[in-house]
Chain A
Amino acid sequence: MLSSLIGTIGSSPETIALFVGFGLVVGLLFGFFGMGGSFLVTPALLMMGYPASVAVGSGMAFVFGTAVIATLKHHDLGQVDYKLGAIMIAGTTIGIEVGRASVFYLESLGLAGGVISVVYVFLLGGIGLMITRDALSGDSDGGIDHDADGDEDLSEYEIPEIATRIQETVRIPPMVTLRGDVRVSVWVITAVAFSTGVLSGFLGVGGGFIRMPAMIYAIGVPTPVAVGTDLFEIVFSGGIGSYLYGQSGGVDLSIVAPLLFGSALGARIGSAATAVVDADDIKVYFGGMLLAGSVAVGIGEVGSYLGNELLETVGLFLVIGAAVAVAGAIVFSTLRTLRSTRGRVTATTD
């Protein structure tokens, strides 16, 4: 650990500035969407020449630290449902192990790499398309909607039609009441947690981009609560994952410390922006980022299949470029909303 700390001091100012800046962008997305850490940091570290175990382990440790910061902020905003989080953690943990077992089984058949990439591309693309279509249609029932602040607003939140249908159909006891007056069967939550856990373990990712839409569309919790609760869950999964990688020397504090320095500020801005930004302004960017991620993974896979490094690099730059653009859009939308709100207040006062 001491050598890692000395490593941080020994890093060049450019490298530290790069990590801090990158941490700021990832933290912003993480605080706002409750996702977006692992699929950005790990490939970037790999591209910088770090060994795979260090890239994955340090990426996970960074996601853990950022999740702690973002969860604390969402807790302050009353957007973490600990009851839902506890049930989700149990279901997801079992699901992750089943997903990992499936990977080992497919590996023994020699099919793991191809199947995982195809599932990844279709999943990212499918969720991205669904959210983008939802945003472009101007239909505001559900989706990545952040227009709720406090319990009263949360209960007024419009539940997506599909979630209402599930709540009315599956009424197997025990039933639980979640934040925002959502009453749902524990079995629905467990099923959602288990299936998202399977996908998460199968794809080897944190799974926020699967879990968050699942919580919104299948369980029916308000989006701010889905984001806050998802982050709470990542604190546990990221903590355990970091510990496991740390045991084999995969966590490098000279990478994690500067990344966290930037992401702590980004996560604060992103979490606070959830209470300000108009959802329709940002939903389309979120869907676009997932679509870009899907295309990037597809390009990267074609690149590695053809042995073309340029295509793999193009894929990575596409993901990072999309992340920077979406982070910029969040800041821009937040400032625009605040300016227009202030303008209205000033006009009313006059």
Chain B
Amino acid sequence: MPGLEVPTWDPETAMLIGAILLEAIVLYVGYAGLERLVGRRLMKFLIGGDSDAQ
């Protein structure tokens, strides 16, 4: 089929995409930790009380 592209193995590109995946997971976990740490206080400041809307 015209335009069909089949990915070939390229370790450097795989590492690049892996780095993005790793950054995404680290940020997800990091922000979750931050949310647990300051989330309640931030919600209290924003809405004037605790919220379970996480």
Contacts and interface: CB of A to CB of B under 8 A. Distances in A.
B2 to A, nearest CB: 4
Contact of B17 (A97, A242, A261, A341): A242
Given A68-B21, A97-B1, A101-B1, A260 B51 contact: no
A146 interface: no
Given A69-B28, A246-B17, A342-B48, A260 B23 contact: yes
A283 interface: no
Interface in B2-48: 2-5, 7-8, 10, 12-17, 19-21, 23-25, 27-28, 30-32, 35, 43, 46-48
B14 A276 contact: no
Interface in A313-350: 334-335, 338-339, 341-342, 346
A264 B27 contact: yes
B16 A1 contact: yes
A349 to B, nearest CB: 11
B13 A68 contact: no
Interface string A114-146: 000000000000000000000000000000000
Nearest to A346: B49
Interface of B is mostly: helix
A115 to B, nearest CB: 16
A105 to B, nearest CB: 7
A334 B54 CA distance: 11
Nearest to B10: A247
A25 to B, nearest CB: 16
Given A68-B25, A97-B4, A243-B13, A264 B31 contact: yes
A246 B16 contact: yes
B20 A247 contact: no
Given A103-B3, A272-B54, A342-B51, A61 B20 contact: yes
Contact of A240 (B7, B8, B32, B54): B7
A275 interface: yes
Nearest to B18: A1
Interface of A: 1, 4, 61, 64-66, 68-69, 72-73, 97-98, 100-101, 103-105, 239-240, 242-244, 246-247, 251, 253, 256-257, 260-261, 264-265, 268, 272, 275-276, 334-335, 338-339, 341-342, 346
16 contacts: A61-B20, A65-B20, A69-B28, A72-B25, A97-B4, A98-B1, A103-B3, A242-B17, A242-B20, A244-B7, A246-B13, A247-B13, A251-B16, A251-B17, A260-B27, A334-B53
